[in-house]
Amino acid sequence: MSARWCPAEACRPIIDEAPVFYPTIEEFQDTLGYIAAIRPKAEPYGICRIVPPSSWIPPCPLKEKSLWEHAKFSTRIQQIDLLQNREPMRKKSRGRKRKRRRHSRMGKSRRRARAESPEANNASDTEETFGFQSGPDFTFQGFQNYAQDFKDSYFGINDVKDLSSGGNGSLKRWEPSVEDIEGEYWRIVEQPTDEIEVYYGADLETGAYGSGFPKPSSVTERGSDIYTKSGWNLNNFPRLPGSVLCFEGCDIPGVLVPWLYVGMCFSSFCWHVEDHHLYSLNYLHWGDPKVWYGVPGSHACELENAMRKHLPDLFEEQPHLLNELVTQLSPTVLRSEGVPVYRSVQHSGEFVLTFPRAYHSGFNCGFNCAEAVNVAPIDWLTHGQSAVELYSKQHRKTSLSHDKLLLGAAHKAIHALWELCVLGQESAESLSWRSECGKDGMLTKAIKIRVQMELERTKQLPALLQFQKMEKDFDLNSERECFSCFYDLHLSAASCKCSPERFACLKHADLVCSCGQENKFVLFRYTIDELDTLVEALEGNPDALRSWASQDIGLVVVKGKDETVSELGHQSKEFGSKDFDKKTPESQKTEGNIKMRKPCIIDLNTGIQSG
């Protein structure tokens, strides 16, 4: 290796630190509750670090000898000197390619299969875009050896002896500090003088490679059970009670199933936001620190504008460059443009939490292994709505059905309100959902915003279009998205008799085909009146709650031998709570294309249905 550390030319950014939190053992028991508690203080920084109680040390299955020495993972090649300072690929293809000692390893890259940018979708074989091409496969043992050799050589670690440690005269191995590595990293990115290529084992699916957290099937140590069930175990985290990702049935890699990241010195994660502007939680299982930079979600647009200003040629070639996760820009430059940037240094055994639409980036200080996944508390819903509207404008595919999550949360809240108002039952879960309802509740506000969008778009539809009720299983077995902008069609869709399997969102209903309006139709899962009833139910209107609960969810009025329980009265003392949780059979009547569940009353003493 000819490239060497240049400490005299260090470019370490001068920025403030993100907050660090130290939950007590009691606070640590409620994962989402703790995140909600620190959100007011932490969210303005975009990221924060969470240090678990010292007694929380989960076993790591990845360190088992059979995996450590034999299981192989894939890597990517990262050219650190080209992350910020590089020419557009079109210029290179016209003969202005930079002379390199090795052939440039360029190639298209993507983050998730369903989150490709239009450039990646439409690029021809002759149009290259900058990205990270595949590197060699490694075992953990092999990668550790490679990473240590690189770091030792680059920083001249083997050439330095430090006799200052200990009073016993023993030699202490000198290591560059985090500050040393950070200053050198940004020197390479901002003022490159050499080619620096490293490997990064990124976006490794834990379903294939294994998770660093114990699962029930992997528990071999006594006492590990507390870690398999912990909310901080990233295998459990996405679908914790209170996260609307509970209503997503598919195990989407990287969103609902954690990804592993095996790093070496300088391996990087470039500026990006999470898919759908979700929260993310990253845990460092072992190894050298990981340096993070965060920008609060409220300043996301400022970061995007600053990057376009300073890297105009790259954005001209790829307008949605930030979706590709291949570009850095120094925090020093961002700060000069008025963008607030904060640093966090994550050590082994610590978490880093990122907030909705908070841009983040960073690099590794040496060999390490981290794991990350997403989560979506109720307060995320408004951010998620903004994300899907932005994706629609960008004609970018989605990873999730936002409307499915939103309605799933609404149905869960209606169940909770029914429990509280009709059955007189109180549970921690039902009280939690009630706190998100009411006229000022976050869930109610999110539903209101979406209903208002649907109303405005419905008003813009041509008058001659036929309105039909959407079948419940319309998108049960396959995703339905707008052919034009990829907007999710769980709530409504437009089509035509000439092409019944081609659908558009309400904004692009007129683009489905060239047929006359008399042949076109629009499918609605709910009418605007029904959605208004849902809003009123969440706000606390008793009649609206009764209507939505009985007609949409199937909760029913129950009548006992001696007493009758009205829809919004209190539970009869004569019956156990399980009796009041029964749902009506699928007694339905069909009117045209509209399927309606017929409400009924069940007498628990006789089993006779009426009404």
**How does the average pLDDT of the chain come out, rounded?**
85
Spatial separation of the C-alpha atoms in residues 578 and 419, rounded to whole Å: 11
Q: What percent of the chain has pLDDT over 70?
A: 81
Among 172-181, 336-345, 575-584, name the one with the lowest average pLDDT: 575-584
Order the strands of the 76-79 sheet from edge to edge.
20-21, 47-50, 351-354, 279-287, 368-375, 259-263, 197-205, 76-79
pLDDT of the residue at 168: 54
- Number of residues that this document lists for the chain: 611
Among candidate residues 180, 205, 225, 331, the one with its CA nearest the CA of residue 270: 331
Question: Beta 161-162 vs 47-50: how paired, if at all?
Answer: unpaired
Give phi and psi for 459, each to the nearest 5: -65, -25
CB 135 within 8 A of CB 262: no
> What interhelical angle do 528-539 and 442-459 show, nearest 10?
160
List all residues 6 or more positions away from 391 whose beta carbon is below 8 Å from its beta carbon. 397, 398, 485, 486, 487
Write down the pLDDT at residue 3.
83
Strands 557-559 and 601-603: parallel
Q: Beta 351-354 vs 47-50: how paired, if at all? A: antiparallel
3-class SS at 25? coil
For strands 47-50 and 20-21, give the pairing: parallel
Strands of 342-482 (E only): list them: 342-346, 351-354, 359-364, 368-375, 466-469
Q: Are 558 and 609 in contact (CB under 8 A)?
A: no
Query: Can you tell me whether residue 590 is helix, strand or coil?
Result: strand
> What are the angstrom distances between the C-alpha of 91 and each of 98, 113, 299, 313?
10, 28, 32, 10
CB 201 within 8 A of CB 73: yes
CA distances from 471 to 43, 307, 524 (A): 40, 45, 9
* Contacts for 301 with CB less than 8 Å, ≥ 6 apart: none
Residue 47 pairs with which residues in a beta bridge? Answer: 354
User: Residues 6 or more apart from 113 whose CB is under 8 A from it?
Assistant: none
Contact 192, 85 (CB under 8 A): yes
What is the band of 422 on the pLDDT scale with cuts at 50, 70, 90? confident
3-class state of residue 523 by DSSP: strand
Contact assessment for residue 412 and residue 404, using Cβ atoms and an 8 Å cutoff: no
- Kindly state the average pLDDT of the residues 422-451: 93
The pLDDT confidence band at residue 488, using thresholds 50, 70 and 90, is very high
* Most confident option among 25-29, 62-66, 111-115, 419-423: 25-29
C-alpha 384/C-alpha 404 separation (Å) is: 12
Share of the chain above pLDDT 90, in %: 72
**Number of helical (H) and strand (E) elements in the chain, helices listed first:** 17, 26
**Residue 318 structure tokens:** 């790829």
- What would the DSSP string read from start to end of 370-381? EEEEEE-BGGGH
pLDDT given for residue 531 in this prediction:
96
Asked if the model's pLDDT at residue 560 lies above 50, the reply is: no
Query: CA nearest 292: which of 234, 358, 243, 349?
Result: 358
CA angle in degrees (0–180, nearest 5) for 6-7-10: 95
**pTM of the predicted model as reported, rounded to 2 decimal places:** 0.85
3-state secondary structure at position 431: helix
Any residues with CB less than 8 A from the CB of 74 and at least 6 apart, and which?
134, 135, 137, 201, 204
pLDDT tens per residue, range 203-239: 999 988 899 999 887 555 555 689 999 999 999 999 9
Backbone angles phi, psi at 541, to 5 degrees: -70, 120
Structure tokens at 31: 């994962």
pLDDT digits (tens, 9 = 90+) for 31-63: 999 999 999 999 999 999 999 999 999 999 999
Per-residue confidence at 92, pLDDT binned at 50, 70, 90? low
Report pLDDT digits (tens) over 151-205.
999 998 876 655 454 555 556 678 999 999 999 999 999 999 999 999 999 999 9
Q: Which residues does residue 495 pair with via DSSP β-bridges, in sequence order?
A: 521
User: What residues form DSSP beta bridges with 201?
Assistant: 262
Q: For 264, phi and psi rounded to 5 degrees?
A: -135, 175
Residue in the structure block whose two tokens are 């539970």: 571
* Band of pLDDT at residue 253, cut at 50, 70 and 90: very high
Amino acid at site 539: E
User: Any alpha helices (H) in 140-296, and if so which ranges?
Assistant: 140-155, 178-190, 206-209, 225-229
- pLDDT tens-digit readout, 497-550: 999 899 999 999 999 999 988 899 999 999 999 999 999 999 999 999 999 988
pLDDT on residue 345: 98
